[in-house]
Amino acid sequence: MNVLVFGSTGQVATELRAGLADAVFLGRDAADLADPAACAAAIEARRPEAVINAAAWTAVDRAEAEEEAATVVNGAAPAAMARACARLGVPFVHISTDYVFDGSGTAPFSPDHPKAPLGAYGRSKLAGEDGVIAAGGTHAILRTSWVFSAHGANFVKTMLRLSETRDRLTVVADQIGGPTPARAIAAACVTIARQLRADPSKRGTYHFAGAPDASWADFARAIFAGAGRATAVEDIPASDYPTPARRPANSRLDCTSTAAAFGIIRPDWKAELDIVLGELGVKA
């Protein structure tokens, strides 16, 4: 399958590169998401069999001060990509986020749950979802959460870095979600793209997150245990760690429709964490 991937060095794009040797990857130098028309033109010029958008504005806090720019990257660019894919009749897989929800309650959010983002980043991603759907083509919006890998910036690498100089860390314990390995997201995107080519009726919005659900503090403890670090974790509420952007307290995602439609089950993040720690050379 001739796949065009937007993104080159991000966590998911890096994993896609490892699994899609023949794919074309467009980094910012080749297709800047700040220029939606250029992104659409890149699709038209290459005429791929499927497109995966693994690029995004991910600076959640900075988006609060730069919402217009974030909305171009996360909203207008995916919409332009989706319209180009619709014109060519090729499937478009777009990665989105749990931040489109308000994080209320304790039940996992289903794909059709009402959206109510808490901040600029969530609003920008919701704009992208709306644009992809409005394009009317064969698409899959794949919402995920708490992405980690051996690449780029993520919670695992932050905790490991901090544990090098501290024997105790305070970590938020009242935000719950599913840590999700980037490798599994990449594999899911490829599977979905292939199945959409064979059966466009599967188009829609889906969820994909690691299992079991955990708090950030639980996740940190697992990281330190796996890396053989003696750093202690003290649970704190999110209110003790204020940030410019509000984070959802509940990031649980109901992934049952993804399993039903594509046969993709939630990955065991603890098993994948062991692999990532090994790749980073810190596994105990």
Q: What is the DSSP string of 147-187?
A: EE-SSSS-HHHHHHHHHTT-SEEEEE-S-EE--EEHHHHHH
The three-class DSSP label of residue 142 is strand
Beta strands at 50-53 and 92-97: parallel, antiparallel or unpaired: parallel
The set of catalytic residues is: 121
Residues with Cβ within 8 Å of 158's Cβ and at least 6 positions away in sequence, in order, are none
State residue 267 phi and psi, 5-degree precision: -75, 150
pLDDT reading at 284 higher than 90: no
pLDDT reading at 21 higher than 90: no
pTM of the full structure:
0.97
**Residue range 116-160, pLDDT digits in tens:** 999 999 999 999 999 999 999 999 999 999 999 999 999 999 999
Spatial distance between the Cα atoms of 193 and 191, rounded to a whole number of angstroms: 6
Beta strands at 24-26 and 180-181: parallel, antiparallel or unpaired: unpaired
Nearest to 277 by CA among 182, 179, 160: 160
Domain ranges of the chain: 3-154+179-212+251-267
3-state percent helix, strand, coil for the chain, nearest multiple of 5 = 45, 20, 35
Cα–chain center distance at 231: 28
Enter the CATH code of domain 3-154+179-212+251-267. Answer: 3.40.50.720
109 DSSP β-pair partners: 253
pLDDT reading at 105 higher than 90: yes
The per-residue b/e assignment along 74-89, b for 16 or more CB within 10 angstroms, e otherwise, is bbbbbbbbbbbbbebe
Beta strands at 176-177 and 214-215: parallel, antiparallel or unpaired: antiparallel
pLDDT reading at 182 higher than 90: yes
Spatial distance between the Cα atoms of 58 and 70, rounded to a whole number of angstroms: 9
pLDDT reading at 48 higher than 90: yes
Mean pLDDT of the chain: 97
Spatial distance between the Cα atoms of 104 and 89, rounded to a whole number of angstroms: 38
